[in-house]
Amino acid sequence: MKRFFFLPVAAMIMLAAFSCETKTDPEDIDPGNTEVTDPEDPQGPEKPEKPEGPVASKGAYKHVVIVGVDGGGAFFKDTPTPRCDEIFAGQATTYRSKTSFPTISAQCWTSMLHGVLPEFHGITNDIAEDKGVHYPVKSPYPSIFRVAREAHPEADLASFVSWYAINNGIIEHNLGIEMGETKDVDPEIARMAVHYLSGKAPMLLFIHFGSPDVVGEKEGFGTPAQLKAISDLDTYIGWIYDQLKLKDLLDDTLFIVTADHGGKGKSHGGDSDEERYVFLGISGKTVAEGTIVDAEARDIAAIAAYALGLEAPETWTGHVPAGVFKDYTEAGERKAGELPGAKYRSHLTEPTPALSDMQALLTGHKVTAYFPFDDSIGDALGKVQTASGGTLKYEDAYFGKGVALNNGYVTLKEVSVGTGSFSAAFWLKATLPSPKGADPGLISNKDWNEGVYKGFILSLRGSRDIKFNVGDGSKNRMDFTRLLPSDYDQGWMHVILTVDRENRKVRIWYDFIDGDEADIPEALTSISFDSLDFNIGQDGTGSLAYKLPASMDELIITSDVLSDEDVAALRAHYTAK
């Protein structure tokens, strides 16, 4: 759960800061000139009349604005909200929209923006708040922002939040999204949004207010103090709505207000009605009047996509609920969905195929070594000599046997990566190392006590990710982290690392699905990545204190780059019956 400190509002406003790809200068925001109706006037401009008769809602909107109220739950009904009452009069609302479980911010906001339940996206508060980890740009569960960007490369997209983790670890980076954040100062968030709307007409705008959650965790959810925080936010929501009207954007805008969760007592995370049910209000020219039926947090992305005429990804399990749009009366069933790696996690051990099959598969590659680990640490190709450290055990694996590395490791003698490209592919069955900061080596040739030390490592981290690091032994280093799949601990998963020295790219793949990539810094372009022994299950010293709670099978090492076609061929090899 998030925890915040209370500061005087004036001091907090001075701490307002923007982060991310396209930045707006907070100095540009004139708190006294927001170009909206006087905040003291709760009515604001009149809402345009909705057209009569049949309308087509899909693609009927040029803009979608999503206002998220952290910890707001369904408490809107218990406190005066004159602006929301006005905005959603004759529109679609419910106080029984079901959020995701557990009722924790990261799980719920990610479900809302990515269209799936937490068991699919796997994001938690700790992950979202980790500034070294960002949501994978090539995840099978894209956010509505990524869907909008891929369909409209030039569109304006923006997110202004009071909890930085949404912009840090929930919304993808490198998509050209304007992002702003300021801690716990909701009026400033509203001013950021109003200022942005004074010059931009975004296809998608997300605004996050945090004070109801902060007050709820301090004073109690549903208490007079928390209800006042919601009433105060009602004014700020009105500012944003009024600015849309002032800029002639309202007719083409779908306006959504909802919450990530509620709360009970001074906490949330459980499955009580007070925690699970939240307010959802939707306003727009084709919105139906009445109660939204069977709404969930994961439906918000689908609603936004439908309004903008975007095709929802097949992997989303949310849908457009009945009662949102006039012309959308039957929602049907939500898809159950399937985790991409589920078929591998439940795979039953099969005999290791003939060596000739692997040799044929790798024809044309500079294969350094191939380790089936069938009761042996020997290289099946006979090219590399090995030695063991500690105690190794063998267990049933994806094919035949695999090696358990909990208390031992394998050294590959005289294996060099030098200044050339290389790849490693293997099956992995793992739990997370402990403590959370632990990061034992999967494969490495460096002393991992310092990231700048010479050599490379691919490590499994307790923060539920895998990291590639390389250093030059001086001051230069590279760190590239990729979040593990949400079901990583349910069985075997496949991992591929490719290091392309010529094109200065590093990629990490899980379960043969295209992974994110990172650039090798120019300072590391020409240096050798060699250092100490090439070890499996340890760093290059063989004495790193953190142990690797994992087993490995079918390790392939090449001194070139595995291509997309090679990855597809490996997938076919491992899934052929």
Higher pLDDT, 46 or 214: 214
Cβ neighbours of 230 (radius 10 Å): 27
Range in 203-217, 324-338, 345-359, 379-393 the model is least confident about: 324-338
Q: For a pLDDT cut of 90, what percent of the chain falls above it?
A: 83
Quick one: average pLDDT of 492-514? Answer: 96
pLDDT tier, 35 (very low <50, low <70, confident <90, very high otherwise): very low
Give the whole-angstrom CA distance, residue 532 versus residue 542: 10
CA angle 476, 470, 514 (to 5 degrees): 125
Query: What DSSP assignment string belongs to 270-317?
Result: S-SHHHHEEEEEEE-TTBPSEEPPS-BTTHHHHHHHHHHTPPPPTT--
pLDDT tier, 40 (very low <50, low <70, confident <90, very high otherwise): very low
Quote the pLDDT of residue 436: 86
Query: What DSSP assignment string belongs to 66-125?
Result: EEEETT-TTGGGGS--HHHHHHTTTSEEEEEEE--SS--HHHHHHHHHHSS-HHHH---H
Quote the pLDDT of residue 48: 47
Q: Which residues of 66-104 are buried (b: 16+ CB within 10 A; e: fewer)?
A: bbbbbbbbbbbeebebebbebbbeebbbbbbbbbbbbbb
pLDDT above 70: residue 259: yes
DSSP state of 509: E
Quick one: average pLDDT of 5-18? Answer: 37
* pLDDT tens digits along 75-84: 999 999 999 9
Quote the pLDDT of residue 41: 45
pLDDT above 50: residue 30: no
Quote the pLDDT of residue 27: 36
Q: How many helices (H) and strands (E) does the chain have?
A: 15, 21
pLDDT tier, 25 (very low <50, low <70, confident <90, very high otherwise): very low
Q: Is the pTM of this model over 0.75?
A: yes
Give the whole-angstrom CA distance, residue 418 versus residue 416: 6
Quote the pLDDT of residue 515: 77
Quote the pLDDT of residue 95: 98
Tokens of 385: 């000599």
Measure Cα distances from 492 to 396, 429, 488 in Å. Answer: 11, 5, 8
The residues near 561 (Cβ < 8 Å, ≥ 6 apart) are 421, 422, 423, 498, 499, 500
Range in 36-40, 255-259, 261-265, 452-456 the model is least confident about: 36-40
Quote the pLDDT of residue 56: 80
pLDDT tier, 328 (very low <50, low <70, confident <90, very high otherwise): confident
Range in 41-50, 113-122, 148-157, 394-403 the model is least confident about: 41-50
pLDDT above 50: residue 18: no
Structural domains in the chain?
9-13+58-308 (3.40.720.10), 343-575 (2.60.120.200)
pLDDT tier, 331 (very low <50, low <70, confident <90, very high otherwise): confident
* pLDDT tens digits along 406-442: 999 999 999 999 999 999 999 999 999 999 899 999 9
Mean pLDDT (the chain, rounded): 90
* pLDDT tens digits along 449-476: 999 999 999 999 999 999 999 999 999 9
pLDDT tier, 49 (very low <50, low <70, confident <90, very high otherwise): low
pLDDT tier, 316 (very low <50, low <70, confident <90, very high otherwise): very high
Quote the pLDDT of residue 449: 96
Quote the pLDDT of residue 417: 97
Quick one: average pLDDT of 328-357? Answer: 89
Quick one: average pLDDT of 537-560? Answer: 97
Quote the pLDDT of residue 15: 37
